[in-house]
Amino acid sequence: MAKGAERLPGTSSRIRTRDDGCCSVNFLKYVLHIYNVVLFLSGLAVGGIGIWTVVAKHNYISLLPTSTYPILAYALIVAGTLAIIASWLGCGGVTSENRCILIVYIFVVMAVLVMEAGVGLMSRLYEEQVDLELKVHLNRTFLDNYSVRSRETAAIDAMQIEFKCCGALRFEDWLHSEWSKDEEVIENRSLVPDSCCKTPTLFCGRRDHPSNIQYTGCIYKFLETTKDHLIILGAVGLGLSVLELFGIVLGTCLYIELRHNFDD
């Protein structure tokens, strides 16, 4: 009997075709093709958001107390890449009706589901912890590492200029930092780093008048933007993980239909 139709058990006349039923092979193939286009676009979106998160926080990653934040961003990039790969696998498996490719496709989509759901859950959990972590560790990072470690020094200068702030909690904290013990700082009688100034220039940190320097601590703006990014990561991870469920169900249904009903 030709592929695409088979005689139903217990009857000699009725023929089952590829279009029979609400889960027919042709219907599932049509829906999966549409789904894979959506999966490809979602992969681009997820990967793009992960890259945007890394780029947006690249200068400040060294100031974070843990590596949780960058790990979440990189996990989204990997999930987006896997989603793109899965969409191509799905299109190939559906078109050729190759059950081996469909099995691989289903497992790759499962991996994307696990990664995106994991990023979503971890983002929500870390959002609750990051407030305390930054309040405990950020000020110590400012006081101990500025002018001592080049990477942290550059990150702190960039933060103070971008967020228009001075010090982690308050500008007076600089008087108790390792930076304040530097011979050049003492010689020039600088009170705060030049990046604290409203118009950063050489040795502008000698005056701590509010007309000259920023008075707001960096932790407030940094915490706000970090939480906003975590909310986005959580929403993307949990929201798009639902999409993968449809792919797993549709792919499994097509695999079963091809295996049981249309073997030569």
Burial classification of residue 19, based on how many CB atoms lie within 10 Å of its CB (0-12 exposed, 13-18 middle, 19 or more buried): exposed
DSSP string over 106-126: HHHHHHHHHHHHHHHHHHHHH
167 by DSSP, 3-state: which?
Answer: coil
pLDDT tens for the chain, residues 1 to 264? 444 444 445 444 444 555 555 567 788 888 999 999 999 999 999 999 989 888 877 778 878 877 888 899 899 999 999 999 999 999 988 888 888 999 999 999 999 999 999 999 998 888 888 888 888 788 889 999 998 888 899 999 999 999 999 999 999 999 889 998 888 888 888 899 999 999 999 889 998 888 999 999 999 888 888 888 888 888 988 888 888 899 899 888 888 888 765 554
Helix (H/G/I), strand (E/B), else coil: 146: coil
CA distance 142 to 246: 48
Contact 82, 43 (CB under 8 A): yes
Amino acid 135: pLDDT: 80
Query: 65-74 — which CB contacts under 8 Å span 24+ positions?
Result: 65/133, 65/134, 65/136, 65/137, 65/138, 65/141, 66/133, 68/122, 68/126, 69/126, 69/130, 69/226, 69/229, 69/230, 72/119, 72/122, 72/123, 72/126, 72/230, 72/233, 73/233, 74/50
pLDDT of residue 36: 92
**What are 204's two structure tokens?**
């502008």
Q: Taking the domains of the chain in order of start, what are their residue ranges?
A: 21-261
**Angle, CA 29 vertex, CA 102 and CA 9 arms, to 5°:** 90
Specify the pLDDT at position 108. 93
